[in-house]
Chain A
Amino acid sequence: MPDIQSPLPGTFYHAPSPDSEPFKKQGDQVSPEDTIGLIEVMKTFIEVKAEVSGTFEGFSVADATPVQAGDILAKVG
């Protein structure tokens, strides 16, 4: 089961804006090019790409949480 890891340190967000739906919900189909979340660092939001295909099984860290590079952000089955 592939994990999606954070490419860099920063603050991880599940949704494109505070009022929006999360990028992915449990059971959604995931393609490698899909954005699954955002990392905020240095006044920039960087899209996190899935880089794997499968079914989205959920986020591994809460919304708006500080993360380190290499942390597991979400699981895809």
Chain B
Amino acid sequence: MMQFLIKGVFRDRHRWLLPIIVALAAVSILVFTFSFLEGYKLSFERQTSRFVSGHLKVVSRAYAEMLDMRPYDLALLDIEAELAEWQKRYPQLSWAQRINFGALIDIPDSRGDTRVQGEVIGFAIDLFQDDTEIRRMQLTEALQSGRLPQKSGEILITNIAFEKLELELGDTVTLLGSTVFGAMTMQNFQVSGTIEFGTKSLDQGAVVADIQDIRQMMDMPGGAGEILAFFANNEFQPKEAARISKDFNARYSDPEDEFSPQMLSMLEQGNIGYLMQVFGLGMLWMSLGFIFVLGIVLWNSGLISGIRRYGEFGLRLAIGESKRQVYFSLLVEALFTGVVGSLLGVLLGTAVSLYFNRYGMDMSLYNQSGNVLTENMLYAKLNPITLLWSFIPGVLSTLVGAALAGAAIFKRQTSQLFKELET
């Protein structure tokens, strides 16, 4: 019976061509879109963890209350002994001390008076102990001119700020900020190079300095605003992160002491968890949307095909087939064309996605106008779930289309079908 139906489908080009093309096109688009979204999500995850959140982050409880404001005056101070203990207890994590700060950058004229001022955000990272942080922040790739800082007192500045402030490499600039106690503080730095991260929010005006210099400037010996922790394979593991943060907080965090440490998983920081959830839900909604839209397209093509096949249906009813059997055979045909079209779509989508997985897509133009932290080159990411999420809507939409179109069979009177057969 199946073979008979399948042969029937493939001997009539009108029955398979359009449904298969539609399913193929839709599924390949879905595969590519999902793999692109997955790549985008991973890029966001990587970039956000590098610059903002780590996979886990340790801050003081007071700091955690105002996490988005990054109040470094509530930083953890003299934290090195504790950090050594945490490193022993959680060897699967790699740690990075950071101070994120806002400052005014003041450029002197030849007499030492203010020539121009601007606002910058600052990243204080460990630049000299080893190159882990340099690699993590991708500073070598971000370097546009000059060189990376090689000694204390040197900073990198973003290209836009560099040009706006009419600086030259090697110029001395003064950063004005507040100490951890709120007093105004100033420190001179020499510009060793310019950088561009490729993200508008960072590139508008940012400086990167060594954490020891900023500790001295901010009067926070052995302190860090945030201590980021990364999984060794550099991939975020939500369940493991949740387990570690729970264990850490039970051991080291004291609700009575606002300056005791508190660990936060990446998903617990600001709206990162929400955004990640949106990415996941986005895939579900896109699948449902595709089923709906394709269902309508295939419903229409099924209706056209059904009208063309009224004669055939009339004949089949005349020789004793029930309406239910005719309807069922239509669904089987649709299932078959749906499976074939979706498989082809998966193959095509996979091929396109693999291309972008290998060569990536240049998003630098988009990033220049956006504030979401993603890399300039986005690489599509394929995984089995992506393929399944694309394949199922392809088959379902073909079935839904056929089911809707085939419902017309039940509305037709047998006599009417006979009449149409005669004509």
A binds B: no
Residues in chain A within 8 A of chain B (CB atoms)? none
